[in-house]
Amino acid sequence: MTKIKITFAMLSLGAALILTVPAQADIISNLGAYDSPGYDFVTTNPPAGATTIGTFTFTIPVGDDVTGITISGSFGNGDSPTTALSDYYLGIPGGDEIEVPVAFCDDPAANCISGQEGPYAWSATLTPTQIADLSSALAAGSIDFTYTWDAPVFAFAGFDQTVYAGAATLDITATPEPSTVLFCLSGLAGIVLLRRFRKA
């Protein structure tokens, strides 16, 4: 009877080890709202390349794989309900890292530039290929959030155009690598075999 209790206790401990492996972890990183300098595209012009709004920082648990990434934000913020024509990325276009496009305000007729009831929310869920493109940044624990300017529909000297971006949230889903779960399973199997060997 005592042996049965010990075996049951050991099996329960092994099962508990497996159950304590988290199914997944949601890692959240936030950036505040952003206002660019104003440019009239006649006497002043924006940078030709990408401009960094901010950098998302985070820590991926050791042994976890990133299985999902969603980023959300808004065109416009508390200072303006709309924004200038612009495109948004994770990563720096033209830089050393691969950039992933996440949002576009490139249609002059769209609410993001001509609406009256903004800010206008947007959200993007990355594909597995896009997540793989960001693997080096994920391993480093930081990803730049950037934008580029689009050519304006009209330009007048003294009439500045400005990019207004709302607060942005990066939501990373990380799950344990299969090897972590297999390690726990092999440990449980070893416990069972050890008990049987001693019993024999």
Mean pLDDT of 87-104: 88
In a domain, 183, yes or no: no
d(CA 170, CA 90): 10
Pairing label, strands 168-176, 64-75: antiparallel
**Does residue 102 carry a pLDDT above 90?**
yes
pLDDT above 80 (res 101): yes
Inside any domain, residue 193: no
- Rounded CA separation 164/82 (Å): 7
Q: Is 82 inside a domain boundary? A: yes
pLDDT at residue 138 in the model: 94
pLDDT for the residue numbered 189 = 46
pTM: 0.79
CATH of the domain at 55: 2.60.120
pLDDT in the model for residue 52: 96
Query: Domain range for residue 28?
Result: 23-176
Q: For 152-200, write each residue's pLDDT tens digit.
A: 989 999 999 999 999 999 999 999 966 444 444 444 544 544 455 455 5
pLDDT band at residue 1 using 50, 70 and 90 as cut-offs: low
Q: Does 121 fall in a domain?
A: yes
Q: Which of 161, 135, 121 shows the shortest CA–CA distance to 40?
A: 161
Q: What integer best gives the mean pLDDT of the chain?
A: 84
Identify the band that residue 24 occupies on the pLDDT scale cut at 50, 70 and 90: confident
- Return the axis-axis angle of helices 2-19 and 178-199, rounded to nearest 10°: 170
| Across 62-76, average pLDDT | 96
- 184 assigned to some structural domain: no
Please list, residue by residue across 108-134, b when 16 or more beta carbons sit within 10 angstroms of its beta carbon and e when fewer do.
Answer: eeebbbeeeebbbebebebeeebbebb
Angstrom distances, CA of residue 194 to CA of 41, 179, 181: 76, 22, 20
Which sign, positive or negative, has the C-alpha torsion 179, 184, 188, 193? positive
| Alpha carbon distance 185, 194 (integer Å) | 14
Total domains, the chain: 1
